[in-house]
Amino acid sequence: MNTSLTELAQTELFRDVPQDILRRVLGRAAVRELAAGEILLSPQRANQHVFVLLSGALSLRFDSPNSPEVRELAAGVSVGEMSAIDDTHPSAYVIAKTASRVLPIHRDMLQQLVDDSHPIARNLLRLMSLWIKANTRHIANDQTQIQRLTATIRRVTAQGLDQRIPTCPEDRDFAELIAVFNEMLERLERSFHQASRFSGDAAHELKTPLAILQGQLEQAINQAEAGSPIQIVLSGILDEVRRLSGISKKLLLLAQADAGRLRLHRRPFNLSASLQDLVEDARMLAPQLLVEESIAPGIKLEADADLLRQALLNLVSNAIKYNINGGWIRLAATPGDQSVEVRITNASHGIAAADRTMLFERFYRADPARSRNIEGTGLGLSLAREIARAHGGDLQLGESAEGQVSFNMVLPV
């Protein structure tokens, strides 16, 4: 494809250049067509050209062709380290972002054009070449450090607070930032482990005295006169002790999950049968609600039966507690190629937008649940999600129509 003088004159390198010079350039160079994804410049290839981008778009990247894009180069720009001083390789990758056309101009041709113009321009070209090379390498090094920092940040989780960024002699500009970031991670790791250990230790220490207190209360209730005021008072206290015992068990499980020590006793588990049992339980516990099911038969997986039943029971209990008068509950289980989705939906007045992002926070209870008429601790959803994640799955608030709420649990099979 021929390149017109007008097309070349519109590029940044040859803007306002006399036409006789443009004709000399076109007489010594031929347009090169690039396919999308084709590498134009690479640190693995020597380069003696400047490429004038006539059409299309180029992508500037560092480290590798798959590195994140640093900049998009649009038509009209010129790329290529002008090797007027030495034959060193480029310091970056330039890749065709779309089908593009470039005009390669050899450095000898550029040198000739500059020599013909003015000696001062020649010296400026050499100085610019040195500056471009030095700063491109500096930017490449900076980009490498930024990518290392970003990769480390992405690996930081509750179980990955031990991540640290190693320092190198080349990290001059980032040394202080890396040191501050590593110190922050160390403080976070120490604080998190202290909080996690406190929750686990507190729950463990409460377990025995609560069990003793529950046993003594049950014995006192049996010895008291049936229906007497003392028996009624003791029964109320026993209910609160049982509630405290349930909270301590959940806190212990959550502390173990936070520390990555939630042990699963996996064995073959019939998920379909367990969900059918929950349907029957829901019908007995809430006869005023319509309970429907769409559970595929024979869904089996390797799971901790006790923990997974507890997670599913938490979801069904919530569906009963936060329902409406004359409402309904639907349980569905759909198997896939590598996972199964359990969906529990119930009639509801809805969840405020501000509450939706907080539902899985521990001890958080949305406004309709603040009444003491609805029992709960604000730990059930958080624990159910941790149990699902310990099994390699997840639990999320699903998208649902107005007047209903849905939770989706996905588990590997």
pLDDT in tens, 143-191: 556 666 666 666 665 556 677 766 665 555 567 777 777 787 777 777 6
Q: Please give the pLDDT value at position 370.
A: 43
SS3 state of residue 368? helix
- Condensed to tens digits (0 to 9), the pLDDT of residues 305-342 reads 888 888 898 899 989 988 999 999 999 999 988 999 99
Residue 371 banded pLDDT, cuts 50, 70, 90 = very low
Contact 39, 57 (CB under 8 A): no
Residue 283: predicted pLDDT: 93
Residue 412 pLDDT exceeds 80: yes
Region 236-245: mean pLDDT is 80
Q: What is the pLDDT of residue 323?
A: 92
According to the model, what pLDDT value does residue 292 have?
95
Position with higher pLDDT, 368 vs 43: 43
Query: Residues 2-25: pLDDT tens digits?
Result: 567 778 877 877 776 778 878 888
Looking at residue 407, its pLDDT comes to: 94
For 293-342, the DSSP string reads EEE-TT-EEEE-HHHHHHHHHHHHHHHHHT--TT-EEEEEEEE-SSEEEE
Instruction: Calculate the average pLDDT of the chain.
Output: 78
Question: What local confidence, expressed as pLDDT, does residue 293 receive?
Answer: 94
Is 263 exposed, middle or buried (CB count within 10 Å of its CB: 0-12, 13-18, 19+)? exposed
Q: Which residue's structure tokens are 């073959």?
A: 268
Return the higher-pLDDT residue of 336 and 91: 336
Measured distance CA(409)–CA(311) in Å, rounded: 10
pTM: 0.48
Domains parsed from the chain with CATH numbers: 5-143 (2.60.120.10), 157-262 (1.10.287), 267-412 (3.30.565.10)
Q: Which residue has the higher pLDDT, 80 or 324?
A: 324
Residue 342 · residue 276 · CB < 8 Å: no
Contact 144, 63 (CB under 8 A): yes
**Residue 87's pLDDT is what?**
64
